[in-house]
Amino acid sequence: MTTKVERRIKIKYRVRNKISGTSECPRMSVFRSNKQIYVQVIDDLTGKTLASASSLALEGKMPKKEQAAKVGELIAQKAKEAGVSTVVFDRNGYLYHGRVKEVADAARNGGLKF
């Protein structure tokens, strides 16, 4: 029997086999911990992070979903500054629901295409 973490890691590897970021269309990877949420825009060919944002930089206390939406807006803004307009979304084995969905929706509203 697999644990919740092992199950997510198996799903993560299954997703990563299909998704890869290039310099024209980098990968937007989401990591969700119990308290924070982190997003990176990664060019897998060179192994470089083009832009990153996290809820650690946000000021004040707010609900986690609201935090995720702010991080989504922040990553869209930073990606635009780095010259990125289209990305491939990597949910990292998490369900496309709740905070992960909030990040994706806010990034789309911020101007990223995926």
- Domains in the chain (CATH in brackets) are 4-109 (3.30.420.100)
- Report pLDDT for 22: 86
Give the strand order in the sheet containing 27-32. Answer: 48-54, 37-43, 27-32, 88-90
pTM of the predicted protein model: 0.90
Rounded-to-integer distance, Cα 74 and Cα 110, Å: 8
- Helix extents (H) in the chain: 4-18, 64-81, 99-109
- Report pLDDT for 2: 81
Closest CA to 43 of 24, 15, 71, 16: 24
- Helix extents (H) in 19-113: 64-81, 99-109
- Report pLDDT for 23: 84
Cα 34 to Cα 6, 40, 62, 112: the distances in Å are: 17, 18, 14, 26
Per-residue pLDDT in tens (0 to 9) along the chain, 114 residues: 789 889 999 999 998 999 888 888 999 999 999 999 999 999 999 999 999 999 999 998 999 999 999 999 999 999 999 999 999 999 999 999 999 999 999 999 999 999
